[in-house]
Structure 1
Amino acid sequence: MSGGSVTSPAVIELSGVDVFYGASQILFGVGFSVEQGQTMALLGRNGAGKSTTMKAIAGLAPPRRGSVRLNGAETTRQKPHRIACAGLGFVPEDRQVFPQHSVEDNLLIAAKKGPDGRDEWNLERIYEAFPLLVPLRQRMAGRLSGGEQQMLAIARMLMGNPSVLLLDEPSEGLAPIIVQRIGELIRTLRQTGVTILIAEQNMHFCLGLATDATVIDKGQIVFKGSIAALKANDDIRQRYLAL
């Protein structure tokens, strides 16, 4: 065995990803990786390509060119349910709870073991981690506030015991107290060793949560580095993240 530093394996890896919606190209050669246990912030203005990148990873916007790999396995052409079974959990920007079902039914619908047989997240643990949902367990999900729906969407995703979490704009449009709770939850999840990719316009929300940042603008990656490097780079923050 040779010496030297050992890097963690890439859990999510994109290489040269082009995505089109019809004739319109949205992503242009997007490439970055997220290592095991990392919390990566994918930052950019509205319309920069964050959500499309998340959908490309989840199989909902298959790339026309390039590759997506999950835990080393090619997933570029796989169906979304296959990618989910491989350990990917995705909370989309619009949450997509089942409005005519109760909170508890929304959770039970998503219950499954992880790809390695992990079964850490069940109803009991969810209600411990999300005490806000306990008094709402029989309420129809369509009658929840935006913040409650966001909590439910994250909880439902965890019921699938994923090893990789994609959170698309988790703080968008929510009251500051709910944003704070979601931040605390992400910190707790980080400590369990899961790999997290957060797409956000709100850089300040991510600064205390993420270890690393990738900045996207007009469908192209314009910065990759640590959160500390992003904080030190006034030019990138002013050009691509200033609202």
Structure 2
Amino acid sequence: MAEPLLRIEAAEVFYGASQILFGIDLEVEKGQTMALLGRNGAGKSTTFKAIAGIAPPKRGQVILAGKAVTGQPPYRIAKAGIGYVPEDRQVFPEHTVDDNLIVGAKKGPCGEDYWNTKRIYDVFPLLAGMKTRMAGRLSGGEQQMLTLARTLMGNPDIVLLDEPSEGLAPIIVQAIGELIRTLRNMGVTIILAEQNMHFCLGIATHAAIVDKGQIVYRATIDDLRHNEAIKQRYLAV
């Protein structure tokens, strides 16, 4: 059986004396779009920070493409192939869209150079018409697209998307969903942290649910769609 692209083993994360993650186990295969679902405060964002090295696990392992990256600084984990899109859309507001993309440009961990500005503008046509616009003048949805595009410019093996639909108008959420579907169909491996289950049902291939810092459910997205008991127990607001 092929090695998962990303594997998290028994990860425990603390903020000071407070434990947030309690033995998280997760596997993501190459080409999957994994929805990491759970209520607010369940531990989704902390799981991403553990993977990206921002909140490194005190115990447990993060293994990327068969190599442990646990405890490495975030820039090394990024170079190893992790692309992280945080929930607060951290664009460089006083720089143009084009400049924001160029800042993120680097080859992948094995020298991959698939994502460049030309391909980005082909896949993100909305951004193509805004090359010279200051990023701080973009709408929330446009900034979300730009942050994702800038992350792809680093040619990552896997993209962590934290709450991409949060705070956006329904029509923009729909556009972001279409974009993620396009990336999925291109073979991009994505983990999508979301409270919005309905947003994920039409996008993800697999799902994992986090509750109180633990993975309590793993399945295909179709299995989750038909499991009313699990949805009611862990995802109902």
Q: Which bracket does the TM-score occupy, shorter chain normalised?
A: over 0.9
Match of 2:202 among 208, 224, 227: 208
Q: Which runs of 5+ in 2 are unaligned?
A: none
- 1:159 maps onto 2:153 in alignment: yes
2:5 aligned counterpart, secondary structure: strand
1:10 aligned counterpart, secondary structure: coil
Counterpart of 2:226? 232
Counterpart of 2:162? 168
Counterpart of 1:113? 107
* Aligned residues of 1:8 and 1:36 also touching (Cα < 8 A): no
- 1:86 maps onto 2:86 in alignment: no
CA distance in 1, matches of 2:117, 2:36: 30
Following superposition, the deviation at residue 188 of structure 1 comes to 1.4
- 1:197 maps onto 2:191 in alignment: yes
- My pick for the range that moved more, 52-61 or 138-147, is 138-147
CA distance in 2, matches of 1:22, 1:10: 31
Counterpart of 2:26? 32
Tell me the matched-pair count: 237
Per-residue CA deviations over 1:135-167 (Å, capped at 9, x if unaligned) read 221122111110010010001001111111110
Compute the TM-score of the two structures, normalised by the length of structure 2.
0.97
Which amino acid is the alignment partner of residue 17 of structure 1?
Answer: A
Match of 1:183 among 177, 181, 184: 177
Compute the TM-score of the two structures, normalised by the length of structure 1.
0.95
Match of 2:217 among 195, 220, 223: 223
Alignment RMSD, CA only?
Answer: 1.1
CA distance in 2, matches of 1:229, 1:206: 13
- Taking only the aligned residue pairs, the percentage that are identical comes to 67
Following superposition, the deviation at residue 86 of structure 1 comes to 1.0
CA distance in 2, matches of 1:36, 1:131: 26
**Which structure 1 residue ranges, 4+ long, deviate > 4 Å from structure 2?**
none
Counterpart of 2:64? 70
Counterpart of 1:102? 96
Counterpart of 1:48? 42
Following superposition, the deviation at residue 47 of structure 1 comes to 0.7
- 1:144 maps onto 2:127 in alignment: no
